Amino acid sequence: MIVSEDAHRGTAVIDRQEQDSDDLFAVAVQQFDIAADVIGLEDGIRQTLSHCQRELTVHFPVEMDDGSVQVFAGHRVRHSSLPGPTKGGIRYHQSVTINEVRALAMWMTWKCAVVGLPYGGAKGGVQVDPKQLSQTEVQNLTRRYTTEIQPFIGPNIDIPAPDVNTNPQVMAWLMDTYSMNVGYSVPGVVTGKPLELGGSAGRNEATGRGCVFAIEEAARTQGMSLSSARTVVQGFGNAGSVAARLMSEHESPVVAVSDSRGGIHNPNGLDLQAVTRHKQRTGSVLGFREAENVTNEQMLELECDILIPAALEGQITRRNAASIKAKIVAEAANGPTTPEADSILYDRGVLVLPDIFANAGGVTVSYFEWVQALQAFPWSEEQVNERLRDIMQRSYVAVLDTSRKYGVHMRTAALVRAIERVASFSRLRGIYP
C-alpha cells in the first residue's frame, strides 16, 4: 500500500483498488495515522493505538431446527481499555470478518472519545445470515456465542450492544445467558435491552436522533434551512428510518430512501408513513407506487442537500464521490466513505459529518442505559433526549473548532479530538509493568 498525504488538509490518496471488508482495518489505521501525523503523536502511543488490545475468535456448533448441526465463526475484539470498559455492538451478517470487527472496534474507541464517554471501543460479530434462520435458531446461536465470549465481557469489562441484524430481543437473550452462567441477574452486561429488562427510554431512536441533532448544528453553521433542504437516506433500517422521520418533522422533503434491495425516489418528497406501511406489507421499499425505483448506487448521486448514508460501509468511494450532489453528508452508518472519497468531497466543499461523531447517538444513549443500570434508577425519554442533544451540540462545536484549528476536514478533526483524549489517558496511566 502506497499512501501520499497532504499534511495541511489531513487527506490522503491511496495507490490501490477500493477496499473490500478484509481491508477495512487498513482503512481505520490509515485514518488514524493521518490524524496522528497532524498532532505529531509520539511513536510509542501511536504503536499502541494502531493495534487492537485483545481479540477472540470462536467456532461453535448450533443445533438447527431439523436436528442438523452447523458450526459458525464469531469474533469479539477490544481495541483499547485505556478510557474505561470497552463498548461496542454485535452484528450478525454473512460478510463478517475479523478485520471488519477490528476496524469497527477501533472506530468505537474514537466514537466514544469524540463525544467524551468513559469507554474504550470493542466490536463483535458472527458470520451468519440470520434471515435464513428461524427465531429458535437465532436464539440458540446467540446463547452459544454468548457463552463462548463470556470470559471477554462483563458490566465493568466489555459491554455489548445491538448492531447490524441484532436487536433488543437478541440483547435480552445475551443478558439472560450471561446472568444464568454467573448465577444472578446482570442487566448492565449489555445495552440496547428491552425496557422491561432495564433498557433506556429513547435507545431505539438514539442513532438516528443523534445524527439529526448533528445535522441541525451543521445546517445552522452552514446557513441552511432544514425546512427547504432535500434529504436522501440510503438505508431504511433502524437508524435510517428514524433519521428520515425526524428530518421530515423538520419539514425537510425526504426525496429518496432505500433498503438492501434498492431504493425509491420522488423529487417532490415521500410520504414516509405510506412507505413504511408498504415495506411492512411487501418486505421492501421497492415498488412504492408514488415513487420511481432506483438502485442503491443511484441513490447516492441524486439531487439533494443532505445525504444520510445509513447502510453498510464503503458506499462513497473515489468512483462516485465527484457525483455526490449533497452539501452535507451525515454518516449514520459506520465507514460509508473511503479515504479517497473524503479528499474528493473536501475539495468540492461538501461537509462530511463523520461516522465517529454523527452516529455516536447510539453509543451515547447506551452509556446512559449503562449508568441507569448501575444506579438502578431510570430516566425519562425527555431527559435522555435532552442530554443527547447537549452532547451532540457540544461535540459538533469541538470538532468544528478542531477542523478550523488544524485546517483539516471533519473526519480528521474528529479523529484528532478523539486521539488526543485517548493519548492523554495513555500518558497518565503509563505502561504496566
Active site residues: 123
Cα–Cα dist 384/404, whole Å: 30
Q: How many Cβ atoms from other residues are within 10 Å of residue 115's Cβ? A: 27
DSSP H helices, 78-167, are 98-114, 135-149
Output DSSP code: residue 154: B
Cα–Cα dist 410/416, whole Å: 10
Cα–Cα dist 127/140, whole Å: 15
Phi, psi of 90 (to 5 degrees): -125, 125
**Under 8 Å between Cβ of 186 and 178:** yes
- CA nearest to 333, candidates 241, 429, 207: 207
- CA nearest to 39, candidates 428, 414, 430: 414
Cell matching residue 265: 425516489
**Under 8 Å between Cβ of 165 and 94:** no
